[in-house]
Amino acid sequence: MTLVYLTVAWCGGILLGHLLWSSGAIGCATPVWPFGVGAGVLCLLILLLRRWPAQRNTVLFLLMLFLGAWRYHAHPLAACATPADLAYYAGDESGDDRQVVRATVEGVVVGYPDVRDVRTHYRVRAATVTIAGKPHPVRGDVLVQAPRFPAFAYGDRLRVTGQLQIPPTFDDFDYRAYLAQRGIHSLMQRATIELVARDQGARFWAILYGVRARGAALLNRVLPEPAAALANGMLLGIESGIPPAVDAAFKVTGTTHVIVISGSNIALLSGVLLALLGRLLGRRRATLPTIAGITLYVLLVGADAAALRAGLMGALYVIAVAMGRQSTAFVSLFTSALVMTLINPLTLWDVGFQLSFMATLGLILFTPAIQARFERFLAARLATDQVRKAMSLLNDALIVTLAAQITTLPVVVYYFGRLSLISLFTNFLILPAQPPIMMGGMATLVGGLIWAPVGRVLAIIPWLFLTYTTWVVKLTALAPLASVETGGWGRALAMLYYVILFGALGLRHLIGTGRVPAPARGVTRRAAAYGVIMMAALWLGTSALAARPDGRLHLVYLPGEGGEAILLTTPGGRTAWLWDGGGNGGAALAAAARPWLIGRRGVDLAVGPGAADLWPDAQAVDLAQLAPGAVIRLDEGVVLTRLAAGADWALALDYGGFRTVLPSTVKPDAQAALLASTDAANLHLVLLKAPGPNTGAWPTADFLAATGPQTILWPQDTTYPPDVTALLTGRGARRIPADAVVEVITDGARLWLRLRSAMERR
């Protein structure tokens, strides 16, 4: 247990270093020598106190705390960029004093390309950056977001041109910190790419990524969608192809853990390799090849924090088996955390690592106690052989889920702001199907890569169970209150929940060691139990309150590639969807709206081309039959009015003193038609959302003068005419990330703005 305490001290030191950095107590200018001197003094004290174990361990604890802070100082979230770093030249477009940097970066693709719907993300290791015609030799990685075609691969040397910027932050997601955890401090969106040379990467990674690409292509060939996308996520760590509607259903039901690489995959691989190689080589000789196999698989699937932790624990398990000793899972878990944060201290901020660590901790701490209670309950009602069969089912489908959720629930609520009330039931139904998916999927990959017809035959097994899993998840996601928003109170209660939970565990430890007097044992246990029950009741109550309509109008602008959709939620809870007809298709934008419609079958009203097909359960509005001046009353006081915009269409949205024009992508000729119509005299706007990039639209100077918007939202990466750009700058337009999901909230008198990330998170 000493290693556990030291790991806690080490991680506490990393957090302390972050707090000191955030407060300005330490920073880029802080020299290294004070840390070295302090560590030396503490090491000397440990030597002097070697005859007094209690005092020595206290100083050892302080040393680990100190070393953790030192490690963070060497690798902080905010990079200490110098002229030799690419991040030094990146502009910041997030504020009013924005810095737009047009740059050309030349470098090599060093990661597996992340292919999305219409774009691909490349991690490029820069060698030079050219700004205003002047080249600078640099080091560092940049995330390049470019059109999906033409496609590039690992090892390609590229010349990338675009706006080089610091990654943005959103109200619901710190994208800058997310990329910093992965060693990326620069971003280039909508870049143009020129291929310079191929095969410039390491041969090992080229072969490994080639196998991954072949495996993904095989699964896409032998499995239909969405089974193919889910199999890619479960087996190869490629999650970007999962349809948004399916992904949203998994999030609603709290089952996203089954579609990512987790400990289950590694445990299965470890067991299979150890069994096969053990027969061929013997138990001890099979150790290194088995660890090598685990390492290759972790690298193959992307080596994210959760996969690394599972891989380390799998390797420790293999070593323990080889030594003939039962290594405690507790020590293995904390050892893996120590190694990972030693390599990269920013792993502590990785949500995947936090969820993986807490889930494993929950299994270790609570599975035996929950299992014992179920066994006692069933033993009083069933025969011995029936109890054994029932426990086998419950262990796989319910007990493991319950134990993991005890410790992961606060993490989910804190980061995602939602509480799934259907999670336990859905997990109970789908978890027994996961081993056949993983075993059948791995067999399909191996067999199909050897001979394609074998893969087609074997694919029947994972397809059946993937189809069942998807059906159950989609069905249970439609249950009323399947998932509820927790709000700010929910996040605060999540932290309080941990205080009560780990306080109760501390009390149990004190009771077990006899440090709490015997008469107080029953009292402390009951107090801890009542505290947890009251906490859960309060949590559910605040979640139910947060799920109710808040009496405000919500506008959610969903960006597409060259188009836009708007999702409206009225004060009474009714929903409407509007699409401008542009971009990468209404189906893609309708799918992007699904996460905002959790617990609903769809929207109540749909406006735009093909609305009836996209939302079959909604009341579709045919704009061809809606004359200028026609009114749609969405809710009490919420009105849409058709405007005279020539060949295009535009709607005025009114609620109390709030007014805006939808969609935001009204073209200049349509704006001119509006100004020439009778509507011009009543076009004073509270909010104007300017069009995004590649829409072929911009707010004209005449339109801005006539509407006089109080608030203007101006997306980045837009190329408006110079006079419009100067006018928007002079009016103090607020810059927003081009890919941000913008949520505008109003009570008819006041206005609130939230910038949410369109990036996928699990």
- The domain spans of the chain are 2-74, 86-201, 211-346+417-485, 350-416, 488-545, 553-756
Distance in angstroms (rounded) separating the CA atoms of residues 227 and 460: 11
Of 358, 661, 623, nearest to 502 by C-alpha is: 358
Q: Residue 267 — pLDDT band, cuts 50, 70, 90?
A: confident
Which has more confidence, 547 or 702?
702
* CATH 2.40.50.140 correct for 86-201: yes
* Distance (Å, whole) CA 418 – CA 575: 20
* pLDDT given at position 97: 46
C-beta of residue 751 within 8 angstroms of C-beta of residue 556 = no
Distance CA 608, CA 592 (A): 16
Q: Please report which confidence band the pLDDT of residue 762 belongs to, taking 50, 70 and 90 as the band edges.
A: very low
Residue 733: CB atoms within 10 Å: 21
pLDDT interval class at 524 (50, 70, 90)? low
Q: What are phi and psi of 58, to 5 degrees?
A: -65, -45
Give the pLDDT confidence score for residue 253 in this predicted structure. 87
In DSSP terms, which residues pair with 576 in a beta bridge?
568, 605
In our burial notation (b when 16+ CB lie closer than 10 A, e otherwise), range 355-394 reads: bbbbbbbbbbbbbeebbeebeeebeeeeeeeebeebbeeb
Residue range 81-90, pLDDT digits in tens: 889 999 999 8
Mean pLDDT of the chain: 83
pLDDT digits (tens, 9 = 90+) for 358-406: 888 888 888 888 888 888 888 887 777 777 777 776 665 677 778 888 8
- Work out the average pLDDT over 706-731: 88
pTM, two decimal places:
0.84
Q: Are strands 141-147 and 184-197 parallel, antiparallel or unpaired?
A: parallel
| pLDDT higher than threshold 50 for residue 761 | no
- Residue 94: pLDDT band with limits 50, 70, 90: low
Q: 126 pLDDT exceeds 80?
A: yes
Band the pLDDT of 318: cuts 50, 70, 90: confident
Give mean pLDDT, residues 129-144.
Answer: 93
Is the model more confident about 578 or about 550?
578
- 86-201 and 553-756 in the same fold: no
Q: 3.40.720.10, 3.40.718.10, 3.40.50.12280, 3.60.15.10: which CATH number matches 553-756?
A: 3.60.15.10
pLDDT top residue among 588 and 288? 288
Does an H or E element contain 10, and which? Answer: helix 2-23
